[in-house]
Each structure stands twice: as C-alpha cells, then as structure tokens.
Amino acid sequence: MKKKLNVGALISGGGTNLQAIIDACRRGKIDAKIVFVGSDNPDAYGIQRAGKYHIPTFIVDYRSIIRQVKENPSALPPPDDFDLQTQLQKQTLFGSDTDPQRVRDFMITRAIAEARLLEEMKPYKFDLLVLAGFMRNFSPYFIDKVNTNPELPRIMNIHPALLPSFPGVDGYGDTFRYGCKVGGCTVHFVDYGEDSGPIIGQRAFKIFPHDTIESIKERGLKLEWELYPECIQLYAEGRLKVVRKTYQMRAGKTWTRAVVEILPPG
C-alpha cells in the first residue's frame, strides 16, 4: 500500500474545510491522514469535529498569550533562539509605513505563541501543515522551523479570493464590495507575506446581480471543499514543484517570482 501523507491542520473557526479534508481522507479520495488539529481559539468548533474522529487536538490560545505579554513582558519571554533583528529583516507582512513598535510587538508576541505551537506539534510526524481557516499570520520564526527544505514548502493555506486580489481576512466580502463579476478561492504555499506565497490551485465562480456576500460565500466555500483536498493530493503525489521564474519587463527591468509547477502524474 502507498504511504499516506501525514497532514497536520490548524484552524480558528467552524472548520468546514477541515471537515472536507477529513471526509476526503476517510473516503480514500486522497492519500492522506490527519495527524493533529490545532487551534489558536479555544472555542473553535472545528476542534469538536476533529474529536469525533479521534484526531489528537491542541489549543494555543493566542489572545491570552498576547494579553499576558502586554501586561507583563518579563513573565513570557521570547524563545531562546529568537532574534528580533533577523525576524524584522525577513518579514514582509508590514510595509515601511507601519509603526515600528507595532511590528516589533507583533514579531515578539507571535514568536512566543509560535514556539508553543511548535512544542504542541512536536510529537507528531507531519509531512504537510494545512491552514484551514487559521486566522493568524505566521512570522518567519515559525515558517523557517517548518520549511526546512527550501525546495519544498510545507505550509499550505486556503484563501477566499482569487489571489493576488484581496488578501487579508475578508476575501469574499472584499470581492463583493469591490463589485467583481467573478470571485473565487486560492490554495497557496505560505511565505513571509500575507497570502502572497506561490499559488497551487484556484477556482472561480460568477457573481450575479442578485448575489449577496452570504450567497457568494456559500458558493465559494463549496469550491474550497473541492479544491483543498485536490491540492493536498497533488502534494501527496509529489507533483508540486516550486520554481523561481525571472521575466524580462519593460525598460530592462526584471521580475522574479516563485511559482508552482504541477508535474504530470506518475
């Protein structure tokens, strides 16, 4: 029998994408197995979904960690191997116009929470980490510890918009409010930026005049439930390759981007 891909999942909410992945695994539609489900939110319903299938779960309560650090920074110090300057140099979540103190606070509080996450994840051997409605951005501290092989990223995310349009927390809402005539969802690898990593797969749907945010969200989610398992299966089959492409642009300029090549089966 073919070896299954061990998948860890992180969620923040209802977990319908998690459910779609669990179902695809159980029905043998994908060669994968979920080995843990973690959440930053103690009330995430997705944790209960995981429990039903006896999947190990854990919570790292980001909100409480961030509050504790604000109240008493010495009580919760950053991990020993954390170096603020390195993190600030690597990160691409914030632009130069962001208050530097805010960026520093973010890097420190996240590294503390992320070190806890890594500790919780340690007992499980996972090949791929999927973010299924995990509403926290990672700092480079976490990403570098999971992505140990530069050739093959190990963190996937699903985003409710056709990236690179509408990154951020409300993809369907932003798509609707902008007046788009198509919407969609994107599965991508996670890099240091916000929803900016190499795109693995996308699905699009039409937006009609009678649509509302709720109706497009409903349509979009149905596509997400198909797309995410498909992308995980491509990963399981070893068919995703990240390559850096450089393009010649106008005025002698070049543009470089890491893109995903989908290799043929077999």
159 is annotated as an active-site residue: yes
> What b/e string do you get for 211-246 counting C-beta neighbours within 10 Å, with b at 16 or more?
beeeebbebbbebbbebbbebbbbbbbeebebeeee
Task: Round to whole Å and give the CA distance between 221 and 226.
Answer: 9
Of 13-21, 35-43, 56-64, 241-249, which segment contacts ligand GRF by CB under 6 A? 13-21
**Residue with the CB atom nearest ligand GRF in the bound state:** 133
CB of 243 to ligand GRF, least distance (A): 26
**Residue with smaller CB distance to ligand GRF, 79 or 205:** 205
Q: Is 173 one of the binding residues for ligand GRF (CB under 6 A)?
A: no
Q: Which residue has the tokens 């999927």?
A: 130
Are 156 and 130 a contacting pair, CB within 8 Å? Answer: yes
54, 159, 188, 210: the catalytic one is 159
How does strand 5-11 pair with strand 128-131? Answer: parallel
User: Of 4, 6, 14, 239, which one interacts with ligand GRF (CB under 6 A)?
Assistant: 14
Binding mask 82-121 for ligand GRF (x = CB under 6 A): ----------------------------------------
Task: Round to whole Å and give the CA distance between 155 and 188.
Answer: 9
Instruction: Supply 189's token pair.
Output: 């690898």
Q: Measured between alpha carbons, how far is residue 223 from residues 16, 150, 187, 201, 230 in Å?
A: 12, 30, 11, 11, 11
Q: Which residues, numbered 205-264, are part of the site for ligand GRF (CB under 6 A)? A: 221, 224
CB of 132 to ligand GRF, least distance (A): 5
Task: Round to whole Å and give the CA distance between 164 and 228.
Answer: 18
Q: Is 13 one of the binding residues for ligand GRF (CB under 6 A)?
A: yes
CB of 266 to ligand GRF, least distance (A): 31
**Residue with smaller CB distance to ligand GRF, 66 or 185:** 185
Of 6-14, 33-41, 50-58, 237-245, which segment contacts ligand GRF by CB under 6 A? 6-14
Q: Is 78 one of the binding residues for ligand GRF (CB under 6 A)?
A: no
Task: Round to whole Å and give the CA distance between 246 and 251.
Answer: 15
Instruction: Supply 31's token pair.
Output: 């060669």
Q: Which residues, numbered 119-158, are part of the site for ligand GRF (CB under 6 A)? A: 132-133, 158
Of the candidates 38, 48, 32, the one whose C-alpha atom is nearest the C-alpha of residue 12 is 38
Would you tell me which residues interact with ligand GRF (CB under 6 A)? 11, 13-17, 46, 132-133, 158-160, 185, 221, 224
Q: List the catalytic residues.
A: 159
